[in-house]
Amino acid sequence: MEMRNLNRRLLDQPKKAKVRLQLAVISMTLVTQAEETKIPRSYERFEILAAGGEKDSRDPAWAPSKGIPMEVSGMEWIGDKLAVCIRKGEIWMLENPLSTDRNKINFKLFASGLHEPLGLLKDGKDLLVAQRGEVTRLRDSNNNGEADAYLTECDGWNVSGNYHAYAYGPARDGNGNLWVSLNLGMGKLANNHIGWRGWAGTIGKDGSFQPKALGMRSPSGMGANLKGDLFFSDQQGTWIPATPIYHLRPGVFYGNQESLASLKSPEAPFEMKVIPEPNQDYGEALTSSERFVPPAVWLPYNKMGRSATDVQVIDQDGKFGPFDGQFLIGEFTNSAVNRVFLEEVDGQYQGACFPFLNHFPAAVLRLQFAPDGSLFVGMSNRGWSSLGNRSYGLQRITFNQKTPFAIKEMKAQPEGFELVFTEPLHPDSLTPESLKVSSFTYQYSSRYGGDEINPARHKISGIKTSKGGRSVRFKVENLRTNYVFELTTQGLRSKLGQRLNHPQAWYTLNRIPSD
């Protein structure tokens, strides 16, 4: 019964009848609210340190807070201490970092004088840190808590004064290889014609940089999945129409043609027979070049973020919720953390992305799990700006054992998709109108970013719920490869009445499963 019809009837009733009918309306409303539980908070946040002022970080009057400017650019565990590098060139050791009393968390300077470090990795008793000109091995030989040896571990790429000429890493893959990724230079002072800009490579036994793959723009985060396969994030911009997550491996091209010049170097590891032509549909460009590969997942612009950063796998045996094996992706501009589910189809990765946590006080740059299963989130707004109004900070996120009702997985099927939920679905909440699917792709071009093109809505049929209510399968008319499929849900709730945590998901369909 619609509320406007009830209101019309109330006007025509005697006073006592109006009271009875009003009570009935209130009772019905309370029953409806009881049947549909609000979304509980599943993750708690503890702020360890943040910039003090709540101004826009680009305010001309902005000044850093007193104390450590915690522009977090890398994190790593050394025993029970958390090593944190910051963009001004220092590494701090946090003692007792799991305490919920800020006064008991101590900061001790471990290293300084680095050139914008953007990654930390433990290697034996040492720390490896990527700075602009090299990967440096930091050693504390007398165990006094301070680095006393700064040793060059790897170099060999172009170093310039260009603001964007960052170096990231190192990251270790399942075979023990250490990878470094290199940002393109940008703007008038960019020099991408030499020195492997827009490439990723491994550290050779002799300390040399071994170039392996190209076509990157701003590959600011790397992380391995549970199999040891390495992935990296890139950011929307020239040649990159939206934010992608790629499977990192040798011998491939990821699309950005500003990195092609290094192919002319005698040390180039391979040739490209065909350079894809610009201004064509992305799928057509992919099929035109033997080395050009698609993202495992597209994160659509602004719907899921604008600039991905770190890549961190969840491997916490349920201590961080029901998403083990999936990736968390840092998001700079929108000050958020997103979630990515991946599967292999015909030997290639593809999957879906979901919103996860948002409203951080600054841009999320680095993620690191703690031994107790909590997540440390490092932030820095420097260079751009974000939806957060602080300039830097460090937070710890803990799962409070209240499982969110969410789409855990979205899997491709030969004729459609399967949704797997974190909790059983209430059967009455699933109707033919509950699921809507559309798709789009992008154009491959040198423009900065790109619009969604060739949109289409798809008819859904054959909706089937599993016996326990944990999954739903449905057919989708006219599946298209190299397209992003946008799922929008309405009215879904769990058997306990909890509303769906995030009603949308985006699946990158590079290949359609054969069975």
Quick: pLDDT tens for 102-123: 999 999 999 999 999 999 999 9
Mean pLDDT over each residue of the chain, to the nearest integer: 91
Element (DSSP H or E) covering residue 153 = strand 149-154
pLDDT at 2 over 70: no
Average pLDDT over residues 194-218: 96
Q: How far apart are CA 129 and CA 202, in angstroms?
A: 14
Average pLDDT over residues 153-164: 92
Q: What is the pLDDT of residue 277?
A: 98
Q: Which of 39-53, 200-214, 327-341, 496-510 has the lowest mean pLDDT?
A: 39-53
Is the pLDDT higher at 61 or at 192?
192
Average pLDDT over residues 198-203: 98
Q: What is the pLDDT of residue 9?
A: 36
Element (DSSP H or E) covering residue 340 = strand 336-345
C-alpha angle 274/278/281, rounded to 5°? 100
Average pLDDT over residues 222-232: 98
Average pLDDT over residues 62-88: 89
Q: Which of 30-34, 140-144, 293-297, 312-316 has the lowest mean pLDDT?
A: 30-34
Q: How far apart are CA 504 and CA 339, in angstroms?
A: 12
Token look-up 């599993």 returns 466
Q: What is the pLDDT of residue 31?
A: 34
pTM of the predicted model as reported, rounded to 2 decimal places: 0.91
Element (DSSP H or E) covering residue 355 = strand 348-357
Token look-up 């590891």 returns 269
Average pLDDT over residues 66-79: 92
Closest by CA to 329, choosing from 318, 343, 319, 314, is 314
Contact between 198 and 216 under an 8 Å Cβ cutoff? The reply is: yes
Q: Which of 12-16, 281-285, 457-461, 492-496 has the lowest mean pLDDT?
A: 12-16
Q: What is the pLDDT of residue 3?
A: 36
The model's confidence at residue 385, banded by pLDDT at 50, 70 and 90, is confident
Q: What is the pLDDT of residue 35?
A: 44
Tokens for 321, please give them. 């919720």
For 121-144, the pLDDT digits (tens) are 999 999 999 999 999 999 999 999
Average pLDDT over residues 467-480: 97
Q: What is the pLDDT of residue 187?
A: 86
Closest by CA to 120, choosing from 447, 466, 367, is 367
What radius of gyration, in Å, describes the C-alpha atoms of the chain? 25
Q: What is the pLDDT of residue 26?
A: 35
Q: What is the pLDDT of residue 370?
A: 98
Closest by CA to 178, choosing from 208, 219, 140, is 208
